[in-house]
Each structure stands twice: as C-alpha cells, then as structure tokens.
C-alpha cells in the first residue's frame, strides 16, 4: 500500500489553498494591475492563470526584471495487479516542490527549488535545482549549480507537461537525477544546443555531491533542429543527444551505461502530436540495451486529450533490463532481456497544463511476468513556463522554438 499516511480528502484543500494564495499575489503585483488596466478581462480560466506565481515583472527596471514563486503538486491514486499474484494500490503524493526564480540585470537568472519526498516524507528532501545562469546572448548561456540532466527527449520534458504518468523504462534505467553541473546552451537560427559536465553523485546535501570522492563525472551533448519549414507541419523538431559516463564506486546516478545515444522526432499537426524516440545504452557491467517508444496524442476537444505510448526494449545479456521501480516491481516484476509496455490515457486540462486531471492504464511485461497499472490523478504547477520543442506543451503560446 503506497502512501498510507496521506488521505485523498486533503487534495482539494491543497489545490484550493495554493490557487487562491498565488492568484492573490499575482493580482497584487504591479504587472497584474497594469494588465487589468490595459487589457480585456480574461475569457478562460487558463488565460487568467497564465502567469500564476508571478510576483513582479518590469522590462524598464534595470535591476530586477522578473520574480516568480514556483512549484508543483502531483498526486494520484494507483492500482497495480501482477501475474505473480501480488497486488498493490494506494494514493501517492508523487511530487511536491516549491521555490523561486528571478531575473536580474537582464542577464542573470537565479533559480531555487526544494523537493519533498514521496507522501511528504520527509517534507524537506533537499533541492532538486539550485543554479545561477548568466546569459551572454541568445547563443550562449552559462549555468552553474544543481540542475537537471537533459539526456533523451523523454527526460528533457518537464513532469509539468508529460501526458502520461511515468517516463519510459529505459530512460529511467540511466538514473538521470538532479546533480551539480556546469552547462552551456543557446540557439543559432533553427538550431538549439545543450552541453555540460555533471557530477555522478547526488543527494539531499549538494555539498556532499560536489565533494564526494570516487563518484566520477559525466558529459552530455544535445542538439535540436527545427524541421517545421522542411516538413510543413505545425511543428517539427529533431533531437539528437549523447551521454558519456565515467561512473565510479560511489556514483549514485548515470552509473548503468558507459555511453548513451538517443534520437527523437517530435511532430504536431492540428490536434495531433507524435513523438518517436530511439535510445541506446552501450557498455556497463550488465551490457548494452536498446529501446524505442512511440507517443501519439490527439485533442478530442480543446481540453480533452487522448494519449498512447508503446515501449519496446531489449538487452544483450540475460536480465540486462529492470522493470520500473514504481508499481511494476512492487508486484514482483524484476529483470529480463525484453521489455514491452503499452499505455492508453485521457487527460483533461482544466487550465491548460497549469491544472489538469490525468488518467491512464498501462500493460507491461518482462522476464515472463506481466502487470496492469491504472492511475487517476491531478497535476498543478505555478511559476514560469518551460520553453522547448515538445508536443506535450503544444497548448502553450509560443512554446516551440523559443
């Protein structure tokens, strides 16, 4: 039973309190007052919450241009039934994060975000992100501090915009966590790039992650090309990424494979979207593994989206793959050399991706065992939007290529 300390009955109170508090802050900010005076009244809940969490914005202030309160809450009920005869269900506070982000001197962005453990145990579980970014130009941004690994398109998409409950099995096998890093990113015309050096240690103490001996380091490089003009679709992007890991004895993440390669094509046309991604993990103590996943989606209305996903992965060695830690392993699925999973879900966007309800059912098989998992949950976030080429966020204005 997951989450026995948490009752689903407190969920409406959590959501209501967060929305009311942040809406009050936003309404009191100078930028909100100016918007009310110069623009028409919001027509939808989504547009009224578009800047949820923004406390201040001014392009004329040479010192402080923006300040946001940011965070997210993801909670869901799940049930999992395995062919082993084991069953697991319960309500889980899947993610809770709070923090801030500010832009200063038109060049400097500071970002801090703490995280709670599952079911708020513990409430403070360190920082997922604590970084500073200096923007020399659109083509060159330097970021230093605890930050997210962006190997594979599947990992690059923020959990705020995912249209299924969990990332792909092979993505998770890379153990891509938040960790101290130095990265460079930027844009040249239709090209976006991202690259950096990362510590292979992470934990609730960033000091330990920076100084932990014998953990190793990793290098990631990624490029994304805008294909929209070539394919004549609403949006089209090709992403290629590479990972090199020199994991050592004390490594806590990126310690499964020596090399990683991925290629993803992301397309949208009207109400339809499709992501196709192939991923390879090469080398390591359990050998190499290869996988592919397809992620189609279609908006039945402007709020209701049907989504699906198919995953297939295979390993060189017997037992070279491992089932998902959440849900699948709890009912006895473990290791094998072939993994397959199929997902079907419906998502209802109450206020675009700021507030949405998600449901899904997934079948998975590995090592001769199978499981069925179902979810029903809510996802809420406040703070600035991520910007990136992914169809999951296609309802966001200007989300592609900027």
What token pair was written down for 393? 């966020």
Q: What is the mean pLDDT of the chain?
A: 86
* pLDDT reported for residue 60: 94
pLDDT exceeds 90 at position 167: yes
* pLDDT reported for residue 348: 97
**pLDDT, tens digit (0-9, with 9 covering 90-100), for 231-282:** 999 999 999 999 999 988 888 889 899 999 999 999 999 999 999 999 999 9
Percentage of the chain beyond pLDDT 90 is: 68
**pLDDT, tens digit (0-9, with 9 covering 90-100), for 176-198:** 889 999 999 999 999 999 999 99
Count of positions (residues) in the chain: 402
* pLDDT reported for residue 183: 96
For the chain, the distance separating the N- and C-terminal CA atoms, rounded to the nearest angstrom, is 43
Q: Residue 50 and residue 382: Cα distance in Å, rounded?
A: 9
Q: What is the mean pLDDT of residues 11-16?
A: 48
pLDDT exceeds 80 at position 392: no
Distance of CA 255 to the CA centre of its chain: 20
Of 200-204, 295-299, 397-401, which range is least confident?
Answer: 397-401
**pLDDT, tens digit (0-9, with 9 covering 90-100), for 16-69:** 554 544 454 444 444 444 444 445 555 788 888 889 999 999 999 999 999 999
* pLDDT reported for residue 216: 87
**pLDDT, tens digit (0-9, with 9 covering 90-100), for 130-154:** 999 999 999 999 999 999 989 999 9
Q: What phi and psi, each to the nearest 5 degrees, are found at residue 10?
A: -85, -5
Nearest alpha carbon to residue 142 among 202, 195, 68, 190: 195
Domain boundaries, the chain: 8-393
CATH 3.40.50.2020 given to domain 8-393 = no
Q: Residue 180 and residue 305: Cα distance in Å, rounded?
A: 36
* pLDDT reported for residue 38: 47
Residue with tokens 């500073």: 132
Instruction: Give, as one character, the DSSP assignment of residue 353.
Output: B
Nearest alpha carbon to residue 282 among 261, 255, 253: 261
* pLDDT reported for residue 341: 98
Q: Are 378 and 389 in contact (CB under 8 A)?
A: no
* pLDDT reported for residue 45: 85
Q: Are 343 and 169 in contact (CB under 8 A)?
A: no
* pLDDT reported for residue 356: 96
For residue 207, name the pLDDT band (cuts at 50, 70, 90): low
């Amino acid at each position: 039973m997951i989450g026995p300390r948490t009752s689903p009955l407190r969920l409406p109170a959590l959501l209501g309190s967060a929305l009311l508090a942040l809406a009050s802050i936003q309404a009191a900010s100078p930028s909100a007052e100016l918007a009310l005076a110069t623009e028409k009244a919001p027509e939808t809940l989504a547009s009224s919450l578009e800047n949820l969490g923004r406390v201040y914005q001014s392009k004329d202030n040479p010192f402080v241009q923006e300040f946001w309160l940011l965070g997210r809450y993801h909670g869901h009920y799940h049930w999992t039934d395995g062919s082993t005869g084991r069953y697991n269900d319960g309500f889980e506070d899947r993610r809770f994060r709070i923090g801030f982000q500010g832009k200063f001197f038109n060049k400097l962005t500071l970002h801090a975000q703490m995280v709670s453990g599952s079911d708020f145990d513990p409430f403070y579980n360190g920082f997922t992100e604590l970084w500073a970014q200096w923007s020399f130009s659109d083509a060159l941004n330097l970021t230093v501090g605890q930050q997210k690994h962006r190997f594979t398109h599947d990992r690059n998409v923020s959990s705020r915009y995912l249209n299924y409950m969990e990332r792909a099995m092979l993505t998770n096998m890379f153990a891509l966590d938040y960790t101290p890093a130095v990265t460079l990113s930027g844009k040249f015309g239709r090209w976006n790039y991202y690259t950096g050096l990362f510590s292979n240690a992470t934990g609730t103490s960033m000091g330990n992650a920076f100084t932990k001996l014998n953990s190793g380091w990793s290098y990631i490089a990624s490029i994304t090309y805008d294909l929209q003009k070539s394919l004549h679709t609403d949006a089209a992007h090709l992403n290629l990424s590479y990972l090199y890991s020199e994991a050592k004895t004390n490594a806590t993440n990126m310690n499964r494979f020596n090399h990683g390669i991925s290629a993803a094509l992301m397309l949208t046309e009207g109400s339809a979207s499709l992501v196709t991604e192939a991923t390879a993990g090469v080398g390591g103590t359990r050998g190499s593994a290869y996988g592919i996943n397809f992620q189609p989606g279609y908006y039945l209305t402007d709020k209701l989206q049907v989504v699906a996903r198919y995953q297939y992965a295979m390993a060189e060695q017997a037992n070279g793959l491992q089932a998902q830690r959440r849900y699948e392993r709890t009912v006895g699925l473990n290791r094998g050399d072939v993994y397959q999973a199929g997902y079907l879900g419906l998502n209802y966007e109450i206020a675009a991706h700021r507030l949405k309800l998600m449901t899904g059912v997934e079948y998975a098989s590995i090592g001769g065992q199978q499981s069925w998992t179902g979810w029903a949950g809510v996802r809420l976030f406040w703070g600035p939007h991520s910007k990136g080429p992914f169809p999951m966020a296609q309802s966001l204005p200007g989300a592609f290529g900027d």
